[in-house]
């Protein structure tokens, strides 16, 4: 396994694991509101024998710690799957120094082909989009459906989405809990409004 110099900054557990698996070190910066899950992931890596300093985790709001990460000379690659304003600013500031993957809002698609198990594809799409109230960087953002099955898929998807129960996320039988913060709500409201 070739070891590449520098540190890669990653927001996703999967992306961090992929970087470490390729012989890189990684700085994993999870969402500030989910540190316990992120810490558990790092402990799994440690328990599996990952050497100290290979997978690193920093906590805090992106807009507060982002500058240090973006400007650190040892960070050679950055990936940010979100569309919050500070992420877009990160792309602008890093662009002169590195080639960056840009997803252009096309992240996390579900692709449904004509031979798909439609009920299973509907469940995967609903869970992907609405699980964790849609507040994760891996939330399904779009579904690409082959035209020959589009009408039945959309009908099933709408019917399933209408069945979702919204309420206290800790209560039994609730499918979609509240958003975590007003700040998050305002940010997504602004994106929705700007996109019509």
Enumerate the active-site residues: 137
Tell the burial category of 182 from Cβ atoms under 10 Å away from its Cβ (0-12, 13-18, 19+): exposed
3-state SS class at 160 = helix
CA dihedral (189, 190, 191, 195) positive or negative: positive
Spatial distance between the Cα atoms of 73 and 14, rounded to a whole number of angstroms:
24
Residues 78, 11 contacting (CB under 8 angstroms): no
Q: Kindly state the helix (H) or strand (E) to which residue 174 belongs, with its residue range.
A: none
Paired with 55 in beta bridges are: 26
């Amino acid at each position: 396994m070739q070891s590449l110099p520098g540190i890669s900054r990653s927001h996703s557990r999967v992306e961090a694991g992929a970087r470490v698996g390729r012989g890189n070190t990684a700085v994993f910066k999870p969402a500030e509101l989910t540190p316990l899950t992120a810490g558990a992931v790092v402990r799994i890596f440690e328990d599996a024998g990952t050497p100290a300093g290979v997978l690193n985790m920093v906590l805090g709001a992106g807009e507060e710690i982002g500058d240090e990460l973006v400007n650190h000379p040892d960070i050679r690659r950055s990936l940010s799957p979100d569309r919050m304003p500070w992420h877009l600013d990160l792309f602008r500031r890093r662009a002169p120094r590195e080639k960056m993957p840009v997803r252009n809002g096309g992240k996390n698609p579900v692709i449904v082909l004509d031979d798909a198990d439609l009920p299973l594809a509907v469940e995967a799409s609903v869970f992907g989009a609405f699980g964790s109230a849609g507040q994760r960087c891996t939330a399904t953002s779009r579904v690409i459906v082959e035209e020959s099955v589009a009408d039945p898929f959309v009908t099933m998807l709408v019917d399933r989405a209408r069945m979702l129960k919204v309420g206290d996320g800790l209560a039994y039988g609730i499918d979609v809990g509240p958003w975590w913060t007003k700040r998050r709500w305002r940010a997504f409201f602004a994106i929705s409004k700007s996109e019509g």
